[in-house]
Amino acid sequence: MCRIGALKSRHYLHPSKALLLMQSQQKGHDNSGFAMVMQDLGGRFADYKKLPTLSLACTDKGLEITRELLRATGFRRVQEWQPEVNPIPGLDIQALANYAFQTFDYPESYRHATDREKEDLLTDTRLALRAALEPGEEGFVYSFWPDVITLKEIGDPRAIGTYFNLWQEDEEFTAKLITAQCRQNTNYEIVRYAAHPFFMQGYTALANGENTFYQKNKEFQSNLHRGYIGFESDSQCFLYTLHYLHRELGWPLSTYKHVITPLPFEDAVKRPDHEQLLVMRQSLAHLEINGPNTIIGVLPDNTLFTCCDAKKLRPVVVGRDADTVAISSEVCGINEVLPERDWEADIYPNEREIVIINDTLEVQRWNQ
Tell me: does residue 185 bind other proteins (CB under 8 A).
no
CB of 31 vs other proteins, minimal distance in Å: 18
Amino acid at 368: Q
Sequence-distant (≥ 6) Cβ neighbours of residue 327 within 8 angstroms: 4, 5, 6, 7, 296, 304, 306, 316, 317, 318, 355, 357
> Phi and psi for 173 in degrees, rounded to 5?
-120, 85
Rank residues 16 and 241 by Cβ distance to other proteins and give the closer one: 241
Which of 94, 168, 283, 350 touches other proteins (CB under 8 A)?
283
Tell me: does residue 210 bind other proteins (CB under 8 A).
yes
Contact string (CB under 8 A) for other proteins, positions 212-251, x = contact: xxxxx--xx-xxx-------------------x---xxxx
**CA–CA gap between residue 142 and residue 151 (Å, rounded):** 8
Tell me: does residue 119 bind other proteins (CB under 8 A).
no
CA angle 102–147–339, rounded 5-degree value: 115
Footprint of other proteins on 187-206 (CB under 8 A)? 187
Rank residues 209 and 319 by Cβ distance to other proteins and give the closer one: 209
Sequence-distant (≥ 6) Cβ neighbours of residue 305 within 8 angstroms: 253, 296, 297, 298, 299, 354, 355, 356, 357
- Cis-peptide, bond into residue 197, ω within 30° of zero: yes
Q: Which of these segments, 47-55, 170-178, 285-293, 332-340, binds other proteins (CB under 8 A)?
A: 285-293
Rank residues 80 and 219 by Cβ distance to other proteins and give the closer one: 219
Tell me: does residue 291 bind other proteins (CB under 8 A).
yes
Eight-state DSSP code of residue 138:
-
Element (H, E) at 293: strand 293-298
CB of 266 vs other proteins, minimal distance in Å: 8
Phi-psi bin for 74: left (phi > 0), alpha (psi -120 to 50), beta? left
Q: Which of these segments, 152-160, 164-172, 278-286, 319-327, binds other proteins (CB under 8 A)?
A: 278-286
Element (H, E) at 280: helix 274-283
Return residues touching other proteins (CB under 8 A): 1, 187, 209-210, 212-216, 219-220, 222-224, 244, 248-252, 254-255, 262, 264-265, 275-276, 278-280, 282-286, 288, 290-292, 310-311, 313
